[in-house]
Homo-oligomer: A and B are copies of this chain.
Amino acid sequence: MKAIRTSFHRWLPSAVALAVWGAVAHAQTPATQAPKLKLEQIQPTPVEQLPDDHLGRLIRYGKELTERTFAYIGPEVKDPAMRYAGNNLACASCHQAAATKEYAMPWLGVAATFPQYRAREDDISTLQDRINGCMERSMNGKPLPWDSREMRAFVAYITHLSKGVPIGAEIEGLGTVTTRMPNRRANPEAGAKVYAAKCASCHGEDGQGRRVGQPGDAQGYLFPPLWGPDSFNTGAGMNRLAMATRFVYANMPLGASHGNVQLTLDEAYDVAAYMLSQPRPEKAGLEKDFPARWNKPVDAAFPPYLLANPDQHKYGPFPPLVQKQQQMKAQLMEYARREQAASGAAAAGR
């Protein structure tokens, strides 16, 4: 117990973290009034059919921003004050089909799930926080002001995609698939071959994607760059191997879906590792992410490395790390229980 206490004590300021952990563990339990929904039950009105009023226009602008982010808030737009994104990706580069495709991190129903606890901040995030999380990581840029027209448009679009969804609902098909990772170190060299065979025709041999126009014209990409200076940074969720594998597995190459995968899980795992073995912009301050530590994902491959060496956190194998993490949690829980009991006994003895 003492060793655990010494090494983990600074991440466990109080019994508070324990309570949070309990809450997170039960986050899947449906609330009294919050039903479970399948993604296909959410069928928002096409934005083109919305009236030409303030809300309709704002929602349509939100969809436009999602699909052509580079043209409005990208690094090449004319007005320097509007250059919030640091790369020429679009939100829809990952959030496919204007953020309506299942297991491609869709936004359907998402407005009904915020504010929510986020491990990365170990705090409650609003929808605006979450959007700015993407702005600073996947878009390698800076946060949108919360009261800007662009932030309002994203919120309005996401809320439109959530119309009819009960607040607090659990939704199947959000995020990525939950497939378990292969129990081996990923093989980037094998992934390079998968890449050449299945990915390079769109994303380029050099992974730099295919631009629509010329650099500087803010027209973005037909197929996005997967690494290099114009791609997501090291703080993005997509920079985590299990996350990237799950995304690739259910969504790549173009045409693939959850119900119609086109790569084996091993291919997805290796090709994702190949992608993540390439250089990309560095996000500063990553050691501040997941401040509670005990809920830091095992594939978040930046310091502090809690369970293994950097290579294993980056390339796996992950199942042993997941097991270690569960043991660590159980030990922390036991430690916190004893602390509480001891302080209770001390209080009684006073």
Interface residues of A (CB under 8 A from B): 16, 19-20, 22-24, 26, 31-34, 42-45, 51-56, 58, 111-112, 114-117, 122-124, 126, 128-129, 146-147, 152, 155-156, 159, 162-168
Contact of A146 among B23, B53, B122, B147 (CB under 8 A): B147
- Bound together, the chains give a CA A167 to CA B114 distance in angstroms of 12
Can you list 16 A-B contacts with CB-CB less than 8 angstroms, sorted by A residue number? A20-B54, A23-B51, A32-B164, A33-B42, A33-B44, A33-B165, A53-B117, A115-B152, A115-B155, A124-B152, A124-B156, A146-B146, A146-B147, A163-B168, A166-B167, A167-B167
Q: Is A23 a contact of B55 with CB atoms below 8 Å? A: yes
Question: How far in angstroms is the closest Cβ of chain B from A116?
Answer: 7
Q: Is A167 a contact of B111 with CB atoms below 8 Å? A: yes
- Residues on the B chain within 8 Å of A32, using CB: 45, 164
Known contacts: A117-B54, A166-B166, A167-B167. The answer to whether A126 contacts B152 by CB under 8 A is yes
Q: Is B163 a contact of A167 with CB atoms below 8 Å? A: yes
- Residues on the B chain within 8 Å of A56, using CB: 23
- Bound together, the chains give a CA A32 to CA B165 distance in angstroms of 12
Q: Is A167 a contact of B159 with CB atoms below 8 Å? A: yes
- Residues on the B chain within 8 Å of A159, using CB: 114-115, 167
Q: Is B168 a contact of A164 with CB atoms below 8 Å? A: yes
- Bound together, the chains give a CA A24 to CA B52 distance in angstroms of 11
- Residues on the B chain within 8 Å of A24, using CB: 53
Contact of A55 among B33, B44, B116 (CB under 8 A): B116
- Residues on the B chain within 8 Å of A152, using CB: 115, 124, 126
Contact of A19 among B52, B124, B147 (CB under 8 A): B52
- Bound together, the chains give a CA A45 to CA B55 distance in angstroms of 32
With CB as the reference atom, state the residue of chain B lying closest to A42. B33
Known contacts: A115-B155, A124-B156, A155-B115. The answer to whether A53 contacts B163 by CB under 8 A is no
Q: Is B164 a contact of A166 with CB atoms below 8 Å? A: yes
- Residues on the B chain within 8 Å of A33, using CB: 42-44, 163-165
Q: Is A124 a contact of B167 with CB atoms below 8 Å? A: no
With CB as the reference atom, state the residue of chain B lying closest to A129. B147
Known: A33-B43, A53-B117, A124-B156. 7 other contacts (CB 8 A): A32-B164, A33-B165, A34-B164, A126-B152, A129-B147, A164-B167, A165-B166
With CB as the reference atom, state the residue of chain B lying closest to A44. B33
The CB with the most chain B CB atoms within 10 A, among A122, A123, A126, is that of A126
- Bound together, the chains give a CA A56 to CA B26 distance in angstroms of 13
- Residues on the B chain within 8 Å of A114, using CB: 159
Question: How far in angstroms is the closest Cβ of chain B from A44?
Answer: 8
With CB as the reference atom, state the residue of chain B lying closest to A109. B167
Q: Is B164 a contact of A31 with CB atoms below 8 Å? A: yes
Question: How far in angstroms is the closest Cβ of chain B from A265?
Answer: 34
